[in-house]
Structure 1
Amino acid sequence: MIYKVYYQDSKLEMPVREKTNSMYFEAENERAVRKMLKDQQINIEYVQLLEGAYLEYEKQSEDFKLQENLSI
């Protein structure tokens, strides 16, 4: 399954929509995604499962790239 992670670059700052970033992961479930990111110094806002038409829409974006390593 493909997940889209919305996050802020710092855990210390208040979340601001304009500074929200996103990245994509292939994982079995949301828990696996969060486990992959547990050592990163980011503030995870939301982990969203992408499927069906929404996944196809996201794949058309130039920003769509599955993360292979965690160098954020």
Structure 2
Amino acid sequence: MIFKVYYQENEAEIPVRENTKTLYLDAENERAVRHILKDRPINIEYVQLIDGAYLEYEKQSEFFTLLESK
């Protein structure tokens, strides 16, 4: 499953929409996504499962880079 993760680069910073970044991760579930990212110094705002037409739309973005879970 593909998840879109909204996050702030500074884990101590209060979330501000203009500073929100995204990344895409292939994982089994949301818990696995959070486990994979737990050692990164980021503040995760939201983890969203994407599929179907929305996934195809996101793949067209120049920022779409899929991180594989290992």
TM-score of the superposed pair, with normalisation by structure 2: 0.93
Please give the secondary structure, in 2, of the residue aligned with 1:67.
strand
Task: Kindly report the root-mean-square deviation, in angstroms, between the aligned alpha carbons of the 2 structures.
Answer: 1.2
Number of residue pairs aligned between Structure 1 and Structure 2: 69
Spell out structure 1 runs of 4+ moving beyond 3 A. none
Question: Going by fraction, where is strand more abundant, 1 or 2?
Answer: 2
Map residues 2-17 of structure 1 onto 2, 5 A cutoff: 2-17=2-17
| Deviation of the 1:2 alpha carbon | 0.3
Tell me the percent identity: 68
Map of 2:43 onto structure 1 = 43
Asked whether the 8 Å contact 2:27–2:68 carries over to 1, the reply is no
Mapped partners of 2:56, 2:27: distance in 1: 17
Please give the secondary structure, in 2, of the residue aligned with 1:11.
coil
Map residues 1-72 of structure 1 onto 2, 5 A cutoff: 1-68=1-68
